[in-house]
């Protein structure tokens, strides 16, 4: 029997570096980055800061380390930070804020990842001997657990103003902020201007093999750099991968639009399969949240069924799976995946 070709929709993190990245990595000039001697890392950090309109930037191994070092740099032990209740920082970072920063997380309910500025305002603590200090508000754009939804600019602006009135900072978990920018049709600076700091990933839709950027004011970035070292993230001749990050930033942003078009194509196709539903209003970028209740099959069972047909995705709620489009799946792969799903559902 011929082997089934795998169509991997688990995440955009599965993307392989492009040929151009591999060549840039091969040629990269390097040095010891802990001494600030790696010219490729220095170039990436400068480019990245400029791109998101911030004074400075630092290259970190992962988005998780980027978010956590940012929280460490903005807070003091015993502070409180406000996050949306489905945020990656709260759901998937292993309790990092408690462990690393010693802060308490105050999750507030959003709609499709969008917090109501009035709720943020109400959550910010007044001065009182009993209360922790609210030092940081975190926004996630695009918002992963809502299926890649975009937090609108007016909402970000309102939260930024509410935070600043109360003397708190805003950190943007912009793991996929370039997807948000492409989805909104704006320069990414239009989004990042409503945050004091931003973390974004080079390793997701932008296809670099690893790495994230934390950008913000100079003194903040110096603190992040030191916390990166504390966590063991002081890397040496890391220009060898930062070179791929430069290609990611210069060559891979505009093509995210293709992933968004493929996500729409996938969502529309799924909605034609009896038993599966996607709420089209949530299909705004490169993710598709598929509800499986109509199949009388839970997410993990549906995931298992399709794995046996070579279509991979993750189950993220009891009756929901997440499919993510990216550079390594074409429109033809989407059609093939739809065909396999329709057939598997018919024959189950």
Contact between 15 and 328 under an 8 Å Cβ cutoff? The reply is: yes
156 vs 201 by CB, closer to ligand TLP: 201
295 vs 306 by CB, closer to ligand TLP: 306
Tell me if 147 contacts ligand TLP by CB under 6 A.
Answer: no
Tell me if 54 contacts ligand TLP by CB under 6 A.
Answer: no
Q: Report the residue count for the chain.
A: 348
Distance of alpha carbon 274 from the chain centroid: 31
69, 135, 144, 192: which one binds ligand TLP (CB under 6 A): 144
Tell me if 192 contacts ligand TLP by CB under 6 A.
Answer: no
Residue 266: partners with Cβ closer than 8 Å, 6 or more residues away: 9, 288, 323, 325, 334, 337, 338
d(CA 262, CA 324): 9
Tokens 């839970």 found at: 298
29, 92, 99, 109: which one binds ligand TLP (CB under 6 A): 92
| Phi, psi torsion values for 305, nearest 5 degrees | -60, -50
Q: Report the alpha-carbon angle 246-222-238, nearest 5.
A: 35
Closest contact distance (angstroms) between CB of 16 and ligand TLP is 15
A 10 A CB-CB count for 26 gives: 9
191 vs 201 by CB, closer to ligand TLP: 201
* Residue 105 tokens, joined: 């997380």
Tell me if 134 contacts ligand TLP by CB under 6 A.
Answer: no
Q: Binding marks (x or -) toward ligand TLP, 201..230, rule CB under 6 A? A: x-x--------x------------------
Pairing of strands 287-291, 212-216: unpaired
201 vs 295 by CB, closer to ligand TLP: 201
Tell me if 325 contacts ligand TLP by CB under 6 A.
Answer: no
In what side-by-side order are the strands of the sheet with 314-317?
287-291, 320-324, 314-317
Tell me if 64 contacts ligand TLP by CB under 6 A.
Answer: yes
Tell me if 11 contacts ligand TLP by CB under 6 A.
Answer: yes
> In this chain, which stretch among 24-32, 63-71, 249-257, 269-277 interacts with ligand TLP, using CB under 6 A?
63-71
Write out 258-305 in H/E/C secondary structure. HHHHHHHHHHHHHHCCCCCECCHHHCCCCEEEEECHHHCCCHHHHHHH
63 vs 183 by CB, closer to ligand TLP: 63
A 10 A CB-CB count for 164 gives: 13
Contact between 116 and 110 under an 8 Å Cβ cutoff? The reply is: yes
What is the total count of residues that contact ligand TLP (CB under 6 A)?
Answer: 15
> In this chain, which stretch among 58-66, 71-79, 234-242, 275-283 interacts with ligand TLP, using CB under 6 A?
58-66
Residues 172-191 that bind ligand TLP (CB under 6 A): 173, 175
> Residue number with the shortest CB distance to ligand TLP?
63
Contact between 325 and 284 under an 8 Å Cβ cutoff? The reply is: no
Tell me if 197 contacts ligand TLP by CB under 6 A.
Answer: no
Closest contact distance (angstroms) between CB of 274 and ligand TLP is 28
Tell me if 63 contacts ligand TLP by CB under 6 A.
Answer: yes
Contact between 135 and 105 under an 8 Å Cβ cutoff? The reply is: no
Closest contact distance (angstroms) between CB of 14 and ligand TLP is 8
Tell me if 105 contacts ligand TLP by CB under 6 A.
Answer: no
Tell me if 80 contacts ligand TLP by CB under 6 A.
Answer: no
Tell me if 8 contacts ligand TLP by CB under 6 A.
Answer: no
d(CA 16, CA 305): 25
Write out the residues near ligand TLP by the rule CB under 6 A: 11, 13, 62-64, 67, 88, 92, 140, 144, 173, 175, 201, 203, 212
């Amino acid at each position: 029997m011929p082997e089934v070709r795998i169509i991997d929709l688990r995440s955009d993190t599965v993307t392989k570096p492009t040929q151009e990245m591999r060549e840039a990595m091969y040629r990269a000039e390097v040095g010891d980055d802990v001494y600030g001697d790696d010219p490729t890392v220095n170039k990436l950090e400068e480019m990245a800061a400029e791109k998101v309109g911030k004074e400075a930037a630092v290259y970190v191994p992962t988005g998780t380390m980027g978010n956590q070092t940012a929280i460490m740099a903005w807070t003091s032990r015993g502070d409180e930070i406000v996050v949306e209740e489905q945020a990656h920082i709260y759901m998937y970072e292993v309790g990092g804020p408690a462990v690393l920063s010693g802060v308490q997380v105050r999750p507030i309910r959003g709609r499709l990842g969008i917090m109501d500025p009035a709720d943020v305002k109400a959550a910010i603590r007044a001065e009182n001997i009993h209360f922790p200090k609210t030092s940081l508000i975190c926004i996630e754009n695009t918002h992963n657990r809502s299926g890649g939804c975009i937090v609108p600019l007016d909402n970000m602006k309102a939260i930024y103003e509410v935070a600043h009135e109360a003397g708190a900072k805003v950190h943007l978990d912009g793991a996929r902020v370039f997807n948000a920018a492409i989805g909104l049709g704006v320069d990414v600076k239009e989004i990042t201007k409503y945050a004091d700091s931003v973390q974004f990933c080079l390793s997701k839709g932008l296809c670099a093999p690893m790495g994230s950027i934390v950008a913000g004011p100079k003194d903040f970035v110096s603190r992040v750099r030191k916390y990166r070292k504390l966590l063991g993230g002081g890397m040496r001749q890391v220009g060898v991968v930062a070179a791929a990050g430069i290609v990611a930033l210069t060559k891979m942003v505009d093509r995210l639009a293709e992933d968004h078009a493929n996500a729409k194509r996938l969502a529309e196709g799924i909605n034609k399969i009896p038993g599966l539903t996607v709420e089209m209003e949530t299909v705004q970028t490169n993710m598709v949240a598929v509800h499986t209740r109509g199949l009388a099959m839970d997410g993990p069972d549906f995931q298992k069924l399709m794995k046996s047909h070579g279509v991979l995705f993750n189950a993220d709620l009891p009756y929901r799976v997440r499919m993510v489009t990216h550079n390594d799946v074409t429109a033809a792969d989407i059609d093939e995946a739809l065909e396999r799903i329709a057939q598997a559902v018919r024959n189950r």
